[in-house]
Amino acid sequence: MYKYKHVTTVDADIDSTFKWFEHEGSFRRLMPPWEVAEEVRADETLNVGSQRVFRFPMGPLKMTWVAEHTAYNPPHHFADKMVKGPFWHWTHNHNLSEVDGKTEVIDDVTYQVPFGALGNLADTVLGGMLVKSRLSRMFKARELRLQRDLERHSHFSHLPRKKILVAGSSGMIGTQLVAFLDTGGHDVWRLVRRTLNPGANEIRWDPDNGDFDPNLLSGFDVIIHLGGEPIGEKRWNDKRKQMIRDSRVKSTKLLTDAIVSLDKKPESFILASAIGWYGDRGNEELTETSEIGQGFLPDVCREWESAASAAEEAGVRTIFLRTGIVLAATGGALGKMLLPFKMGAGGPMAGGKQWMSWISLDDQIYAMNHLMMEGSSKGVYNVTAPYPVRQRRFAKLLGKVLRRPAFIPLPKFAIKLMFGEMGERLTLDSQRVLPDRLLAEGYKFVHENLDDGLRDSLGMWK
C-alpha cells in the first residue's frame, strides 16, 4: 500500500469550507482543469453510501470510476473509497480543522497500484513518480480551486442567494459556471434541449422550433444564456454560417421575448457574446466603446446582442459578455493547439503579429459571478485578461510551458487551405481587446499574465 498526504489552508471558517464540499458542484470544481472527465452520476450528499460516478480517458479507452462515501462527520471529516476504477485499492479521507478563523483541509489517500507485485515493481523502478507525480499535480489544482472559489464566494456572502437558469450549461464554460454557482449556495437550474433527467433541476426548450413556455421562467432571479453552435468545429460554408447565426440569434430572441412577457421579470439577463464583434483591427486598442468591425463574425455578434435589446428596454439589467479566447486544456482554442505543440510542431501563424485576447477559465467564471452579483453592473463588458499578446508570443510561451520547441511557422496560405475562412478569421484576425469596464469596477484577475494562465490551465506550475 502507498500513502499520499496533501494539506490545504483556506481563509474561511470550517463550516463554510465543509458546506462547499457538500455541494454537488464541488466535484466538478475539484477535477483538475486538464482532465477530460465525464460525470455520469452524482448523489447530492456526502452521506455514507452515496456515490459519484465519472468516466475519463485512459489511452484509447474510457475508464469508469465509482466513488462511494464511507464516513460523514460534519464539519470535520468525510471519506470515500473507490469501488470501481483503475486502482486495486483507493481510500480518501478528508479531515478539516479550524484555527483562528482559517481552515486546514488534510487529504489522506491510501492506494494500491494495479497488477500487484508487477505494478509495485514498475512504480519502484520509476522512483514512485508514476502515480505520485500525478497525485501531486491533481491535489495542487484542487488546493488552488478550493482557495479561489471560497475567496470569490466570500465577496458576496452578505447578499441573498439567487435562483439562476443557465442555457448552454453543458459546454466548456457552462459546466464550470454551474458547478461554481452551486458551491456558492445558489439554486441553479439548467435549460436543456434533451429529455429531462428525473429529479434534476432542468427545464426543457426547443429553440430551433421556437418551442418554449414563458411561464417556466417565473421565479428566476437571473437568466444566463451561453448557448450557440461552436464556431471553430468545422469549416464554414453558407449552411454552417447560417447555423452559427441562427443558434445564437433565434435562441436569444426566444428567451428575450419570454422575459419581456413576464409580469415579474428576472433582475438580470446575462448574454454570452464575443470579441468577434470587433473584427480584424490590427494594433488598435479596443475597449467597450470601440465601434463594431466588418465581416461575418461582427455581423453575427451585432444580431446576437440586438436580439436581447428588448429585455434591456423592458428594464431588465442586461449584461453582454464579449469573451476572448478562453484558456482550457479540455476544449476551445487551447485544447486544439495542445497536440501539435506537444509534438513540437507549434509556432507563429502567418508571421504571428496578430493580437490574441485571452482569459483563463477561472477568470471567465469569476468575472461572470462578479457581474451577476454587482447590482450596478450592466451593458457591454470585454471579458478578457488585461494583457493581450501577439500570436507569436502566445506560441513561444505555450512551447515554454510544455517544454517543447515552438518555432515551426504556419504560412497564411496553408491555414486557408486547411481550414478555409473559419481558420483565417479565428487564427489571423488581430484583436487587442482591453477589459476597461471590469477593471473600473474593481474586478481582480487571478491570471493577468499569459504565462501564469497557461501554467495553471495545464498543471505545469514553476
Q: Three-state DSSP class for 387?
A: coil
Whether 118 shows a pLDDT value over 80: the answer reads no
The arithmetic mean of pLDDT across residues 276-300, rounded, is 97
- pLDDT tens profile 56-80: 877 777 889 999 999 999 999 999 9
**What pLDDT score does 286 carry?**
98
User: What are the backbone angles phi and psi of residue 362, rounded to the nearest 5°?
Assistant: -65, -40
Q: Three-state DSSP class for 351?
A: coil
Residues of the chain with CATH 3.30.530.20: 2-154
Quick check: 203 and 189 in contact, CB under 8 A? yes
Between 1 and 104, whose confidence is greater? 104
Residue 410 DSSP code: B
77, 33, 35: which is closest to 54 by C-alpha? 35
- pLDDT tens profile 203-259: 999 999 998 999 999 999 999 999 899 999 899 999 999 999 999 999 999 999 999
85, 90, 86, 128: which is closest to 107 by C-alpha? 90
Q: Three-state DSSP class for 189?
A: strand
Is 2-154 a CATH 3.30.530.20 domain? yes
Cα(164)–Cα(424) distance, integer angstroms: 37
Is 163-458 a CATH 3.20.20.120 domain? no
Cα(222)–Cα(98) distance, integer angstroms: 34
Cα(358)–Cα(394) distance, integer angstroms: 10
Whether 124 shows a pLDDT value over 70: the answer reads no
Residues of the chain with CATH 3.40.50.720: 163-458
Q: Helices (H), strands (E): how many in the chain?
A: 14, 20
Whether 126 shows a pLDDT value over 60: the answer reads no
Angle at 366 between CA 364 and CA 370, to 5 degrees: 115
**What pLDDT score does 132 carry?**
87
Quick check: 174 and 326 in contact, CB under 8 A? no
- pLDDT tens profile 346-372: 999 999 999 999 999 999 999 999 999
Quick check: pTM over 0.85?
Answer: yes
Whether 120 shows a pLDDT value over 70: the answer reads no
Helices 129-154 and 14-22 pack at an angle, to 10 degrees, of 110
Whether 198 shows a pLDDT value over 80: the answer reads yes
With bands split at pLDDT 50, 70 and 90, how would you rate the model's confidence at 127?
very low
The arithmetic mean of pLDDT across residues 260-281, rounded, is 97
Cα(383)–Cα(389) distance, integer angstroms: 15
The least confident of 32-46, 135-149, 388-402 is 32-46
**What pLDDT score does 292 carry?**
98
Cell of 17: 469550507
Q: Could you please report the per-residue DSSP string of 196-226?
A: PPTTSSEEE-BGGGTB--GGGGTT-SEEEE-
Per DSSP, what are the bridge partners of residue 165?
Answer: 189, 223
447, 462, 259: which is closest to 365 by C-alpha? 447
User: What are the backbone angles phi and psi of residue 343, rounded to the nearest 5°?
Assistant: -90, 5
How far, in Å, are 241, 247, 275 from residue 231 at the CA level?
A: 9, 11, 13
How far, in Å, are 16, 137, 189, 369, 382 from residue 131 at the CA level?
A: 31, 10, 37, 35, 41
